[in-house]
Amino acid sequence: MPRGREHRSVPMKTAEAIEAMIRARGLAPGDQLPAQRTLAQDLGISRPSLREALSVLETLGIVRIEIGRGVFVAPRGEGPKAPSWRFRESFTLAEVFEMRLAVEGLAAMLAAPRMPQPARETLAASAQAMGNAARRGDVVGAAEADTVFHDLVVAHCGNRLLQEVHGRTHALTTESQRVPMVARDSLFDTADEHFAILAAFVERNGERARATMEAHIRAAAGRAGIHLGAGPAVPMLQAVL
């Protein structure tokens, strides 16, 4: 079951804390953050959790990690360079979006009529949280809300194989969700697309849920510079099973 904000992972809590520290200290683009050892001690977390949080922030365009030099505040609006896609040696970002198109589109179609009312209310709350984060310019909060929304859809699709595929590829999926968020203005587009999906769930309309989910994933891919086309989604599950 997707976790709420109070049950966020340590890396996501840490990413939010580091972003808050950058604002509180008035760090400007190009300024260097404290050494990772110091950050880990100050935040009371392990080095692996810190590295994961910094990877999240780099993908979101908040920091820039320079091997051998340290971590720096990224210029606003600077997208992550190609090497920041950390799964590039296994799968391309385009492959991940293609997989999501197949898995999440079908999951949305199945979940729309099956999702129980309490979960629908949580889905609505996560869509609202995305909208609120967009208005605040809170990219970390938007990333959290995005993950909750998509996880909730798959969690209630009623198909264990789809859930297995989603679980095995969760790290890839969440990373692909963050890449388009570098462009802060796009957060509003993401929020609007989530509300369109939510409307299909309110109606319990599976076909509309699938169409709006696929449109959302295509749009997100486009914001990441990837064109998926407008044809039907083709399941591509063999590579991840």
Nearest to 223 by CA among 174, 175, 172, 177: 177
Contacts (Cβ under 8 Å, ≥6 apart) of 139:
19, 60, 61, 62, 133, 181, 184, 187
Domain 5-79 has CATH 1.10.10.10: yes
Token output for 51: 């590295």
Domain 93-240 has CATH 3.90.1170.40: no
User: Given phi > 0 = left and psi -120 to 50 = alpha, else beta, which region is 101?
Assistant: alpha
Residue range 164-177, pLDDT digits in tens? 999 999 999 999 99
Nearest to 108 by CA among 153, 73, 67: 153
Q: By mean pLDDT, which of 74-83, 91-100, 185-194, 209-218 is the weakest?
A: 74-83
Q: What share of the chain is helix, strand, coil (3-state, %, to 5)?
A: 65, 5, 30
**Could you tell me where the DSSP H helices lie in 137-169?**
139-155, 160-168
Sign of CA dihedral 225, 230, 234, 235: positive
φ/ψ of 94, rounded to 5, equals -60, -40
pLDDT at 240 over 50: no
pLDDT at 139 over 60: yes
* pLDDT band at 121; cut points 50, 70, 90: very high
Token output for 37: 């050892």
pLDDT at 241 over 50: no
Would you give the DSSP letter of residue 80? P
Domain ranges of the chain: 5-79, 93-240
pTM of the model: 0.77
pLDDT of residue 58: 87
